[in-house]
């Protein structure tokens, strides 16, 4: 305490205590105070499941409703589908031979078999979706529903005895929550976990072909289940929609746009009220009684002339208020909604009128980082799991003949993924930058081609074919160019 506090405390300990208490309160966090502005800020500390399970189903249902009916929300989901998946994330086998070089023959055989398996009749147990469509659906359902589930199925319908079955997170049987198994594991939201919250098994509701729950439940081991969801907290077991923070804003914008649309429709029509001072007299072609209001409704035909009864007065309906700030309001709300999903305003609205080359490129780079995070998650948790199971099933079924596979699984399971690339804003500037980076050794051809979703080896092979074909087609021009080059040197 300073000398003033000590003096006040000596005279009146109560005053001295109040001074110290108020000073300490000023040193605390503003967000933690119980001031007038924070009285309605109600918070609860609990585990992730305690916070999520109460509203999980409601949030999912509302997100699906906006997915069906909101163009603005669709504008937030489509960029992820287009840029994370696009035409599909492609697999590349990277098996190394005894000399340390890539085994081109085996890699080509694996990639050709993988390409065939990715067709709908082979990879989907229902035979309706190819693997690229599975990837796109995983991105969409992870955004809207919070997650999606794929079951590894082993059937003889495809080229190898392995395929996938897609399930919605609704199919998890939540009636098993908070119970325990004979092994002492807990079951939370239809997922059986051990003491470390590691999934052991999943409990799925059984449905009839027409979509009704039969009352039965199927237990599937976790080794057969690929459960895709974003885990934000260590105690989180189940998914929650990633659009939770964005949905209120989207709903407000939808209602605002609807109100403006109704107002403009009213302004575009001639609507009047007839004030009556006497019980008789009317204008128009006659009308019917409105069931809701109980008042007669009449219509006015174009160009009509009608005399009013004594005491009648006509008042035109002219909605008050201005919608001149509608554009700014919608833009601001879209910007906030996009930021909540890690996207720029331009990516979520497709409006490029507010940017130049530099700002557009900076925004695109930030958006690409968001897409790359989603791509890495999908590759690590979905694509890689499917590819490994595909190779093992192909070896077991005899489609791939690898003698020492079981002794060197790590060697034969090596692979890489080529993600879809992005087009350049200014191709000339980008080409010059890439050329300088390659010549200075700051970048590689693999990275440059990979940024555009291309395989650098395929690019080199295609260029070699084109050069050979050009030489065969125009041998004289090629020889003259070579001779001119020798003369210059």
What is the tens place of the pLDDT at every residue in 161-177?
999 999 999 999 988 77
Asked whether residue 219 carries a pLDDT value surpassing 80, the answer given is: yes
Please tell me whether residues 6 and 63 are part of one structural domain: no
| Coarse DSSP helix, strand, coil percentages of the chain, rounded to the nearest 5 percent | 50, 15, 35
Tell me the pLDDT tens digit for each residue of 309-352.
Answer: 777 777 776 666 655 688 888 899 999 999 999 999 888 888 88
How many CB atoms are closer than 10 A to CB 260?
A: 15
> For residues 446 and 484, what is the distance between their CA atoms, to the nearest angstrom?
32
Please tell me whether residues 14 and 96 are part of one structural domain: no
Please tell me whether residues 9 and 58 are part of one structural domain: no
> For residues 130 and 120, what is the distance between their CA atoms, to the nearest angstrom?
4
The total of structural domains in the chain comes to 2
Tell me the pLDDT tens digit for each residue of 132-167.
Answer: 999 999 999 999 999 999 999 999 888 999 999 999
**Which of residues 367, 390, 421 is at a domain's end?**
421
Specify the pLDDT at position 281.
Answer: 47
Tell me the pLDDT tens digit for each residue of 87-130.
Answer: 899 999 999 988 888 888 999 999 999 999 999 999 999 999 99
H/E segment holding residue 447: helix 445-450
Does 442 map to a domain?
Answer: no
Tell me the percentage of the chain whose pLDDT exceeds 70.
Answer: 86
Please tell me whether residues 26 and 137 are part of one structural domain: no
Specify the pLDDT at position 359.
Answer: 84
Does 110 map to a domain?
Answer: yes
Please tell me whether residues 190 and 93 are part of one structural domain: yes
Does 306 map to a domain?
Answer: no
Q: What is the dihedral of CA 117, 121, 122, 123, to 10 degrees?
A: 90
Tell me the percentage of the chain whose pLDDT exceeds 90.
Answer: 44
Residue 418 three-state SS: strand
Does 80 map to a domain?
Answer: yes
Does 465 map to a domain?
Answer: no
245-to-43, 68, 146, 248, 250 alpha-carbon distances in Å: 16, 18, 12, 7, 10
Please tell me whether residues 119 and 211 are part of one structural domain: yes
Least confident of 33-37, 210-214, 352-356, 412-416: 33-37
**How would residue 438 be classed by pLDDT, with cut points 50, 70 and 90?**
confident
- Residue count of the chain, please give it: 489
Which distant-in-sequence residues (6+ apart) come within 8 Å of 407 by Cβ? none
Does 348 map to a domain?
Answer: yes
Please tell me whether residues 29 and 58 are part of one structural domain: no
Specify the pLDDT at position 164.
Answer: 96
Does 15 map to a domain?
Answer: yes
Please tell me whether residues 135 and 195 are part of one structural domain: yes
Query: With 0-12 CB in 10 A as exposed, 13-18 as middle and 19+ as buried, what is 99?
Result: exposed
Asked whether residue 191 carries a pLDDT value surpassing 80, the answer given is: yes
Rounded mean pLDDT of 43-60? 90
Most confident of 286-290, 395-399, 435-439: 395-399
Does 399 map to a domain?
Answer: yes
**Which of residues 394, 421, 448 is at a domain's end?**
421
Contact call for residues 201 and 219 (beta carbons, < 8 A): yes
Domain residues for the domain of 63 are 50-260+343-421
Token pair 């929300």 is found at: 73
132-to-26, 81, 128, 393, 422 alpha-carbon distances in Å: 57, 11, 12, 20, 17
Please tell me whether residues 54 and 25 are part of one structural domain: no
**DSSP state, residue 89:** P
Tell me the pLDDT tens digit for each residue of 27-43.
Answer: 667 777 777 777 788 88
**Which of residues 385, 404, 421 is at a domain's end?**
421
Which distant-in-sequence residues (6+ apart) come within 8 Å of 134 by Cβ? 123, 124, 150, 164, 166
Q: Which two tokens stand for residue 304?
A: 């009509």
Please tell me whether residues 20 and 99 are part of one structural domain: no
How many CB atoms are closer than 10 A to CB 366?
A: 13
Please tell me whether residues 87 and 224 are part of one structural domain: yes
Asked whether residue 46 carries a pLDDT value surpassing 60, the answer given is: yes
Please tell me whether residues 16 and 106 are part of one structural domain: no
């Amino acid at each position: 305490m300073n000398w003033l506090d000590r003096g006040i405390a000596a005279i009146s300990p109560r005053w001295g205590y109040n001074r110290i208490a108020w000073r300490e309160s000023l040193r605390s966090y503003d967000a933690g105070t119980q001031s007038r502005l924070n009285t309605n800020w109600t918070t609860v500390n609990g585990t992730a499941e305690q916070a999520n399970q109460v509203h999980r189903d409601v949030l999912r249902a509302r997100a699906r409703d906006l997915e069906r009916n909101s163009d603005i929300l669709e504008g937030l989901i489509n960029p992820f589908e287009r840029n994370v998946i696009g035409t599909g994330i492609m697999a590349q086998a990277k098996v190394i031979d005894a000399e340390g070089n890539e085994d081109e023959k085996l890699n080509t055989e694996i990639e050709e078999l993988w390409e065939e398996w990715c067709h709908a009749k082979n990879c989907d147990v229902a035979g309706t979706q190819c693997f690229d469509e599975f990837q796109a659906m995983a991105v969409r359902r992870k955004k809207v529903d919070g997650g999606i589930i794929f079951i590894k199925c082993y059937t003889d319908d495809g080229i190898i005895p392995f395929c996938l079955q897609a399930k919605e997170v609704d199919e998890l049987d939540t009636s098993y929550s908070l119970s325990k198994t004979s092994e002492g594991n807990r079951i939370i939201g239809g997922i059986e976990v051990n003491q470390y919250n590691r999934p052991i098994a999943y409990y799925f509701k059984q449905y009839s072909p027409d979509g009704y729950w039969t009352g039965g439940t199927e237990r599937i081991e976790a080794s057969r289940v690929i459960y895709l969801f974003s885990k934000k907290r260590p105690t989180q077991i189940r998914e929650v929609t990633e659009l939770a923070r964005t949905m209120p804003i989207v709903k407000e914008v939808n209602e605002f746009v609807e109100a403006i649309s109704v107002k403009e429709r009213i302004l575009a029509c001639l609507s009047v009220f007839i004030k009556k001072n006497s019980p008789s007299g009317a204008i128009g072609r006659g009308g019917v009684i409105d069931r809701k209001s109980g008042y007669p409704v009449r219509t006015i035909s174009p160009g009509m002339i009608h005399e009013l009864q004594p005491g009648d007065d006509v008042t035109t309906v002219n909605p008050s208020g201005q919608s001149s700030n509608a554009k700014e309001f919608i833009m601001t709300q879209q910007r906030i909604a996009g930021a909540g999903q890690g996207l720029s305003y331009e990516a979520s609205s497709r409006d490029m009128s507010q940017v130049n080359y530099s700002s557009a490129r900076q925004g695109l780079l930030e958006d690409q980082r968001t897409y790359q995070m989603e791509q890495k998650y999908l590759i690590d948790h979905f694509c890689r799991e499917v590819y490994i199971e595909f190779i093992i099933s192909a070896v077991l079924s005899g489609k791939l003949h690898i003698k020492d596979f079981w002794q060197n699984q790590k060697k034969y399971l090596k692979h890489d993924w080529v993600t879809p690339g992005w087009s350049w804003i200014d191709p000339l500037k980008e080409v010059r930058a890439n050329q300088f980076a390659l010549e200075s050794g700051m970048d590689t051809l693999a990275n440059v081609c990979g940024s555009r979703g291309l395989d650098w080896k395929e690019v080199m092979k295609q260029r070699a074919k084109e050069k050979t074909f050009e030489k065969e087609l125009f041998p004289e021009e090629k020889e003259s160019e070579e001779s001119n080059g020798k003369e210059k040197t």
